[in-house]
Structure formats: structure tokens, C-alpha cells
Amino acid sequence: MTKLAANLSMLFTEFEFLDRFEAAAQAGFQAVEFQFPYAYDVDDIASKLASSKLELVLHNLPAGNWDAGERGIACHPDRVAEFKQGVDLAIHYARKLGIQQLNCLAGIAPPGISQETARQVFVQNLQFAADQLKAAGLRLLIEPVNTFDVPGFFLSHTGQAVDIIKETGSDNIFLQYDIYHMQRMEGELIHTIKANLPMIKHIQLADNPGRFEPGTGEINFRNLFLQLDAMSYEGSIGCEYKPQAGTIEGLGWRAAHGV
């Protein structure tokens, strides 16, 4: 049965961040995810998770200056030390919050850097992060992101991500498959998920166009959910979409799609 996780970076944003946990629980979610916890005290987040009886299923490694438009630094040759410090910080939060996996955003390829150099740096950073996370009992995920919304993002296709994972030689790097991003870049959602299911440990969703809730665009989510159940997908599905008319008002899609 599909386990949905509310993405608190995009849902319940009418509340302050630490109040979103209770709002998600009251709306019927049993799990949550978010982009970054680092602006908040880890004990405060842990307390909110416990009081709301919620499971945290995912957050990202530090990804540079998000407000300034950075979307990760893992492919930046001049940010390796910062990346490694971020891995340590993420592990600290993960241990306190009881999470099992962390996502690494590759970032936008820096100007003047060849694709080959960006790839080499990304692979080396992933090898470091995967080893550190494995020692802490955590999985490392990487996520292809569409280059229409984020021009220049280094990791943008499923096949590219699979090839990079193989290149690292690590047994502790897996895929985060974002339905919205990959609908924009590739389509063939069900076929691609089925072909790569053993490597996919987390899925995120939003409809296309618009990145709104399921049922607002072109993706047949009812069939997709049925196929995921038929495949025995065991991970969570993060609801990382922009509510068209408020979070609570838009949650009717869950019943309409049988989840």
C-alpha cells in the first residue's frame, strides 16, 4: 500500500515550519519529508516529530545558498571541503531525527567547468558521502532534476544517474525518482520505474504542467499508484507539489486516486 509523505517545504506553508508537523498529522499523513532542516534546532524538530507521531523519511544534504539560487554543490570543484562539512552536519541531524536516508543534489554545473570535470568531482564527492553515510547506517540517494525548471542542473536523466552510481563503485548509493522532473525530461514513467526498481528507494510526485497536485495535469496517477503496488514498491512517496488553492483544500486528490 502506498505510503505518502507530506513535503513540508511545499505543503502547509501557511504555517510556520515547526507547526507544519502537527498540521500534516491532522491532515492524515503518517510521514513527512522536507528539503533542509539546518535552520532549526535538531531537538526542536525531533520533538515535533514525536509529538505528532510522524516518521521523517527524507531530507537533503546541505546544498549551498538556496536563496541565492544554488541547487547543490556536489559537482563544484571549489566547494569540496564545504560539501564534506555538509555531509557531517547532515549525519548529525539524521541520527537525531531517526531518518534512514539522505538525498544529495548534484547542483548546477559551474560556468567554465567541463562536464567531465563536474562528473569527476561529483563521483568523488558521492564516494566520500556514501562511505560516511554507510558507517552511520544511512543510505545516500541522488536525484535527477529537470533542466527546464533548473537550467544547467548537472544530473538530469535516470540513465545518467544509474551510470554515475555504477562509476562510484559504491553499494550505498540509490535513486530518488521524482515523477514530475522525469515526466518533463523523459516520460515513460512506469517503464523506467520498473526497470530501475531495485535502485529506487524514494519517489516524489507532482503533476505536469505546473507542478501542482495529482489530477491537475497529464499524468495518470491512479494507474501509476496501481502499478507501484503491483511492483511491490516498498518506499515512501513524497508529495512535493505546489497546492493550487491551499494545502488542505487540495488534499482531495488522495481519495480520488485511492491513496
Q: Which of 143, 186, 188, 213 is catalytic?
A: 143
DSSP string, 102-140: EEE---BPPTT--HHHHHHHHHHHHHHHHHHHHHTT-EE
Q: How many helices (H) and strands (E) does the chain have?
A: 9, 8
Select from 251, 208, 237 the least CA-distant residue to 12.
251
- Measured between alpha carbons, how far is 72 from 83 in angstroms, rounded to an integer? 9
Which residue bears the cell 567531465? 116
What sign has the CA pseudo-torsion 67, 204, 3, 225? positive
AA identity, residue 109:
A
Q: Which of 33, 55, 213, 240 is catalytic?
A: 240
Query: Any residues with CB less than 8 A from the CB of 91 and at least 6 apart, and which?
Result: 102, 132, 133, 136, 138
Instruction: Give the E-state strand segments of the chain in sequence order.
Output: 3-7, 31-33, 55-60, 101-104, 139-142, 173-178, 200-205, 236-239
- Measured between alpha carbons, how far is 29 from 36 in angstroms, rounded to an integer? 19
Which residue bears the cell 499508484? 225
> Any catalytic annotation for residue 143?
yes
Q: Hey, which residues are catalytic here?
A: 143, 240
